[in-house]
Amino acid sequence: MTDKRDLLILGGGLVGMTLALAAAKKGLSSHLVDRADPASLTADGFDGRASAISTASWRLFRHVGLEETLEPHGCDIAAIAVLDQMKRGRLDFRPEPHEGTLGRMFANRQLRLALHEAAKKEPLISWHAPVEVLSRDRSEFGVSATLGDGTVLEAALMIGAEGRGSPSREEAGFKMASWDYSHRAMITGLDHSKSHENIAWEIFYPDGPFALLPMLDGPDGQHRSALVWTVDEKDAAGVLKLSDRAFLAEVHKRMGDLLGELTLNSSRSSYPLSFQHTAKIVEHRLALVGDSAHGMHPIAGQGLNLGLRDVGALVEVLDEALRLGLDLGDAQVLAKYEKWRALDSLMVMGATDSLTRIFGIPGKTASAVRRLGMAGIQRTSWLKAFFMNEARGVSGDLPELLKA
């Protein structure tokens, strides 16, 4: 007998995995397929990145039962400070204590470990990894994927969650708006002598942003931050070749004594940065979530958060369809998901792209104009409140799973 499930989720990254868990909480069964070995995905050093998890995304993690596992690993973001290079005129976003934080920082490895542990325990998830998907099929009555070992997995709806290079998106022929920023993000962990005081620093240079994100102190009380330093692609090879000592000297040049003396606490890695977006995210018995639908510059730490909002919206429309006795691949159900996600996705992608470009304009005049704009925002409380709500992910038409 074939094990036909509700969902065939292709890609078990942070978004696909959260989707499988959120769907299971609503009684939806899934095949969750990933070509990577789960042990290598969670190995030390595989993904040295850290993610800013917004208030709304944290609620989703809580709803899917990850609060207890994740809580001890999160570092609160109490404030965000924005600087144009290290020049005067800092823009601060600091909510009042009763308004809560601006999110929390987690090492991606901790997020993956928590998701994997929960998925293993969830009987409604059938997890297939590492496996190659040889072919995908969407017919009138259902969808299927044929795996490398000949197994055929069947479901009512296929979800493309394979990230930026999504083959299910490519096969469906969605048109993508895409461009390369010619930027590369250098990632590493820093120990530093001064406390970060739970402040996330965004320091903008014409070559790209330089972000210091607060992390929990290390086992011996060392203060820690995650560094995301964006460099021009033409300089990337040179930066990657620097010795640790020379790398730290370059880092110090860009942040001064903000956090005191610096040492590296992890290996260095790098990610090429590009923009890609498709307005159409559903097709016959297919829906896209996460980076399969939208890949952006990490300047505002919004990519994963946007993907988690996709998860909340998709699960909500599927749950409604289930209760109404509709087919999960019903075109109207999927159209509702697409419509719901369109505005949020476009706004976040547009804002992120504009920010990258505005701060990328070189020269003293551009810098002076930017700092004038920043000073204006600094003095305008409603504008600051607007930006803080965006960072928390609590504005707009939120899915139930992302509400308190």
Residues whose CB falls within 8 Å of the CB of residue 29, separated by 6 or more in sequence, listed in order: 5, 6, 7, 23, 124, 125, 126
Whole-number Å distance between alpha carbons of 388 and 102 = 7
| Binding positions for ligand FAD, 223-282, rule CB under 6 A | 228, 271
Contact flag: residue 51 with ligand FAD (CB under 6 A): yes
Q: Which of 156, 157, 185, 287 binds ligand FAD (CB under 6 A)?
A: 185
**In this chain, which stretch among 10-18, 24-32, 63-71, 342-350 interacts with ligand FAD, using CB under 6 A?**
10-18
In terms of Cα–Cα distance, which of 70, 156, 168 is closest to 116? Answer: 70
Contact flag: residue 190 with ligand FAD (CB under 6 A): no
Q: CA-based Rg of the chain, rounded to a whole angstrom?
A: 21
Q: Which of 142, 208, 214, 298 binds ligand FAD (CB under 6 A)?
A: 298
The label of the residue with tokens 């930027």 reads 183
Between 165 and 260, name the residue whose CB sits nearer to ligand FAD. 165
Contact flag: residue 79 with ligand FAD (CB under 6 A): no
Q: Which of 142, 209, 290, 360 binds ligand FAD (CB under 6 A)?
A: 290
Contact flag: residue 158 with ligand FAD (CB under 6 A): no
Q: Which of 65, 163, 206, 396 binds ligand FAD (CB under 6 A)?
A: 163
User: Residue ranges of the alpha helices (H) in 260-330?
Assistant: 303-323
Contact flag: residue 144 with ligand FAD (CB under 6 A): no
**In this chain, which stretch among 24-32, 155-163, 328-336, 340-348 interacts with ligand FAD, using CB under 6 A?**
155-163
Residue number of the CB closest to ligand FAD reads 13
Q: What residue type is 25 in one-letter code?
A: K
Task: Determine phi and psi for 215, rounding to 5 degrees.
Answer: -120, 165
Least Å distance, CB 377 to ligand FAD, is: 21
Least Å distance, CB 223 to ligand FAD, is: 19
Least Å distance, CB 88 to ligand FAD, is: 27
Between 101 and 305, name the residue whose CB sits nearer to ligand FAD. 305
Q: Which of 65, 167, 206, 396 binds ligand FAD (CB under 6 A)?
A: 167
Do 192 and 259 form a contact (C-beta atoms < 8 A)? yes
Q: For the window 309-348, what string marks contact with ligand FAD as x by the rule CB under 6 A? A: ----------------------------------------
Q: Which of 6, 291, 338, 344 binds ligand FAD (CB under 6 A)?
A: 291
Question: How many residues bind ligand FAD, per CB under 6 A?
Answer: 32
Do 274 and 178 form a contact (C-beta atoms < 8 A)? yes
In terms of Cα–Cα distance, which of 1, 215, 234 is closest to 108? Answer: 215
**In this chain, which stretch among 29-37, 115-123, 246-254, 274-282 interacts with ligand FAD, using CB under 6 A?**
29-37
According to DSSP, residue 153 is labeled E
DSSP 3-state of 316: helix
Strand residue runs (E) in 193-249 = 199-205, 208-215, 223-232
Do 103 and 52 form a contact (C-beta atoms < 8 A)? yes
Q: What burial class does residue 90 get, using C-beta atoms within 10 Å of its C-beta: 0-12 exposed, 13-18 middle, 19+ buried?
A: middle
List the structure tokens of 375. 């000073």
Task: Determine phi and psi for 124, rounding to 5 degrees.
Answer: -80, -5
**In this chain, which stretch among 33-41, 136-144, 195-203, 371-379 interacts with ligand FAD, using CB under 6 A?**
33-41
Least Å distance, CB 164 to ligand FAD, is: 6
Residue 207 burial (CB count, 10 A): 17
Whole-number Å distance between alpha carbons of 321 and 54 = 28
Contact flag: residue 115 with ligand FAD (CB under 6 A): no
Do 254 and 210 form a contact (C-beta atoms < 8 A)? yes
The label of the residue with tokens 């299927």 reads 144
**In this chain, which stretch among 14-22, 194-202, 323-331, 349-357 interacts with ligand FAD, using CB under 6 A?**
14-22
Q: Which of 5, 49, 192, 309 binds ligand FAD (CB under 6 A)?
A: 49
Contact flag: residue 133 with ligand FAD (CB under 6 A): yes
Q: What burial class does residue 17 get, using C-beta atoms within 10 Å of its C-beta: 0-12 exposed, 13-18 middle, 19+ buried?
A: buried
Do 226 and 213 form a contact (C-beta atoms < 8 A)? yes
Least Å distance, CB 6 to ligand FAD, is: 19
Contact flag: residue 95 with ligand FAD (CB under 6 A): no
Residues engaged in binding ligand FAD (CB under 6 A): 10-16, 33-36, 49, 51-52, 133, 161-163, 167, 185, 187, 228, 271, 290-291, 298, 301-305, 307
